[in-house]
Amino acid sequence: MEFTIGLESPFSLDYTLESGQVFRWARKGEWWYGEVSGGLLKARQEGGTLRCESSSDLLGSEFVRNYFRLDEDIEPILASIAKDKVITEAVQKFYGTRLIRQDRWECLASFVLATNANIPRIKKMISEICTRFGEQFEFDGSQYHSFPGPEKLASAPVAELRECGLGYRAPFLKRVATSVDQGGLDFGELVMRDYEESRKMLLTKLFGSKLLLGVGPKVADCVLLYSCDKDEAFPIDVWIARELSRSYPRIIPLQIRKKLTPEAKAKLTTGDYEKVSKSVRRHFGVYAGYAQLYLYMAARSSDGPGRASGGMARSPGVS
DNA sequence: TAGCAGGAAAATC
DNA sequence: GATTTTCCTGCT
């Protein structure tokens, strides 16, 4: 079906789909093609309108509004996180970037795969899994695949998952899929409870063994922020960590800051993660997740793959 | 709690 | 072409 949506609050389709939250969108010319919710959604932005085409009536304007959270006015939200110069500049530069409300199971599975991988790789792994285990469907003469449900991946042989290029992530994905399939995790509960509680649910141990192997604090925060409406969640990945150490010396304890510099290869302990998480949430407020989104964009654009490495002054090592 | 392995692909040298 | 890095977690 075809439809258009009038945009009433700031929205940039390009920025939003390039912000690293989702992995199953691809740009072809003026259109974005997304394999979402078992179908295909095409979208392009023309100023204040969003033009869409989809493979199913289920992917209509109501779905799109919910998916991109278009009924929420982000203007006051962005104003509320603009606590300092750094975030204010990031917000101005990438104005209109939005949090996406994506499918919870797909989000969880995707970020379990995201450890120690870059975005092209993550996309490739997910694409392989969908090709092999998802349902095939046709749209506009091309073949696409849905994201396989937990029951499908729970019953998949680990060896086959490995063949999708998952490496050591294969057994983790299978175990997470099994947990979800057996009802070990109620996504509805996650949405109902507040941030702290639902985070505990994702991370806590149940019956003596960890419920979801492969889900640590960072992955948990991604799932909560990108799929469970927990806007104060602030996932701290390597990009954010560097950005914080560079631009927010005052809210990061010195001991931890030392570990965050690009030169130091030390990684955050879970204790460190919690401390930093608390300070940034204290600084940015209940919409810290939006701040994370914009800082991530800024970090990647200034120091990221988009530019030849000349730029950032690499301080002469004092080692 | 610190240190390390884990697997493969992309980015960088 | 070799090395380093990669949206990290689990185990010892």
> Following DSSP, what letter does each residue of A61-88 receive, concatenated?
HHHHHHHTTTTS-HHHHHHHH--SHHHH
Query: CA–C1' span, A2 to C9, in Å?
Result: 43
Sheet with A2-6, side-by-side order of all strands: A2-6, A49-54, A39-46, A31-36, A25-28
Distance C1 C1' – A69 CA (angstroms): 47
- pLDDT over threshold 70, residue A284: yes
Q: Is the pLDDT confidence value at A312 over 80?
A: no
The spacing between the Cα labelled CA in A305 and the C1' in B11, in angstroms, equals 8
What pLDDT does residue A259 have?
Answer: 77
The nt closest to A163 (CA vs C1′) is B8
CB atoms within 10 A of CB A236: 21
Note the pLDDT of residue A209: 62
Ranking A18-27, A92-101, A235-244, A256-265 by mean pLDDT, the lowest is A256-265
pLDDT at residue A308, rounded to an integer: 33
Query: Is the pLDDT reported for residue A304 higher than 70?
Result: no
At the top level of CATH, the class of A2-72 is alpha beta
A237 CA → C3 C1’, Å: 23
Domains of chain A, by residue range, sit at 2-72, 104-227, 238-300
Evaluate if the CB of A267 falls below 7 Å from strand B: yes
Q: Kindly state the tokens that stand for A158.
A: 């680990």
Q: What is the pLDDT of residues A248-281, one digit of tens each?
A: 988 888 888 877 776 667 788 999 999 999 999 9
- Nearest nucleotide (CA of A267 to C1'): C8
Amino acid type, A95: Y
Active site residues of A: 218
Q: Please, what is the average pLDDT of chain A?
A: 91
Q: What does the alpha-carbon distance between residue A200 and residue A287 come to, in Å, rounded to a whole number?
A: 19
When mean pLDDT is compared across A66-70, A113-117, A135-139, A301-305, the lowest value belongs to: A301-305
Nucleotides of C under 7 A from a protein CB: 5-11
| pLDDT over 70 at A216, yes or no | yes
Q: What is the structure's pLDDT at A307?
A: 36
Q: Are A178 and A199 in contact (CB under 8 A)?
A: no
Report the nearest residue to nucleotide B11, CA vs C1': A305
| Beta-bridge mates of residue A54 | A41
Return the nearest residue to C4, CA–C1'. A265
Contact A277, A291 (CB under 8 A): no
Q: Does domain A104-227 have CATH number 1.10.340.30?
A: yes
- Which of A244, A172, A243, A254 is CA-nearest to residue A210? A172
Bigger pLDDT: A51 vs A302: A51
Given a cut of 90, whether residue A204 has pLDDT beyond it is no
Q: Tell me the pLDDT tens digit for each residue of A64-93.
A: 999 999 999 999 999 999 999 999 999 999
Distances, alpha carbon A98 to alpha carbons A66, A124, A179, A195, in Å? 12, 24, 30, 19
Q: What is the pLDDT of residues A165-188, one digit of tens each?
A: 999 999 999 999 999 999 889 999
- Residue ranges of alpha helices (H) inside chain A are 13-17, 61-67, 74-81, 85-93, 104-113, 119-133, 150-154, 158-162, 169-181, 187-192, 195-203, 217-227, 238-247, 254-260, 270-284, 288-303
Residue A255: CB less than 7 A from any atom in strand B: no
pLDDT (0 to 100) of residue A318: 28
A218 touches strand B (CB under 7 A): no
Q: Return phi, psi of residue A184, to 5°.
A: -70, -10
- Greater confidence (A34 vs A268) lies with A34
